[in-house]
Amino acid sequence: MDSLIEDALKDLFGQLTKPSQNTVTSKEQRDAIADEIQAGGFTDLLLPQEAAGTGITLFEAIPLLKLEGFYNLPVPFAQTVVTRAWAHRHNIALPEGMTGYAAIASKPDARRRSATLHKAWYGDWAHMLVVNGNECYLASSGTAQVQYQYEGNLFAAISWPDESLERLEVGQQAAAELSRLCIFSMAATIVGAMEKAFEMTVEYAGERKQFGRPVSKFQAVQHQISEMSEHVCAAGMALQMAGETGSAVLAAPAAEPLAIAQYQIAHISDRIADIAHAVHGAIGISQDYPLHHYTRRIRECKSCYGSSHYWAALIGDRILNRHQDTLLSALTQAQPGRQPHQ
């Protein structure tokens, strides 16, 4: 991937997030941020070049998707990128604006003529693609009714009148691809927030002094930072393994490596956030200090599509049903039909 794209996104996101780092972002601020991103064509990154995209693969887009979490971007950039790529692949026209994703376990309520999501990523503001089993719906942000706004404005409980839900004519495979792409994009956002929290922790430990020397010189703190580094690195590696879809443009990640990445990220998220706050001490919980923006993302987003127990059970079922000789061989064997990234 050309680093010019990544550098341009870093510059743009750095400029867009400065005013909103320590305040609750209003709808008008989000609209302005989304307009800037879309004006640069960045939401079409995963489209083929003939469709005015870059033609990069999902693996190559990982550093770009992580930037949403790294810069605490108050809009669903990563999910918009993958949903627009998915829509292009299946000849679906999405409305202008940012698009999020959610899944529901039950069908829309026919009696009340509405559908409800209890924890939707930026559901109070963005358009939503909603997968319900093998069915897929498009819900416009203009018809959403906010039932509850969660702390930090990352999630909202929302409902839509049933008549405002547009059913998309896509099959079971397309719905599954959408789910995997959006779950992957959320994982990338979490890893980006982890990397930022780690960077802030290392920087603070080098600056904060106790007994005449930086706290980073104390062995206990060094041990904590070392452990945090290992966890962040492991999360990044799991994300890369899940994003390895070969050279195919618009390809969704395979189910099994995605489940492994989701388990890894959900399993270690709290520990990463705990270490960041332990090293920072009291200042880490201050509303005026930006660390809590990142640790909130890490904690709240880790299980929005399933807890570590859910993903562990899914992995276990798949392995047991494949009758492999050993657990190691099941986890490390090459995926059929996929070529390693060059």
The DSSP annotation for 205-216 comes to HHH-EETTEEGG
Band of residue 275 on the pLDDT scale cut at 50, 70, 90: very high
The mean pLDDT of 268-287, rounded to a whole number, is 92
For 128, the 3-state DSSP assignment is: strand
Q: Under DSSP, is residue 147 helix (H, G, I), strand (E, B) or coil? A: strand
- Write the CATH number of the domain with boundaries 174-329: 1.20.140.10
Query: Is residue 31 predicted with pLDDT exceeding 50?
Result: yes
- List the single range of 26-35, 89-98, 113-122, 226-235 with lowest mean pLDDT: 113-122
Q: Is residue 203's pLDDT more than 60?
A: yes
pLDDT for res 187: 96
Choice among 153-162, 234-243, 329-338 with the minimum mean pLDDT: 329-338
Q: Name the more confident of 135 and 242.
A: 242
Q: Where are the domains of the chain?
A: 174-329
Q: Tokens representing 72?
A: 């605490």
- Residue 83 has a pLDDT of 96
Question: Bridge partners of 166?
Answer: 138
- Per-residue CA distances from 287 to 23, 152, 324 (Å): 9, 11, 50
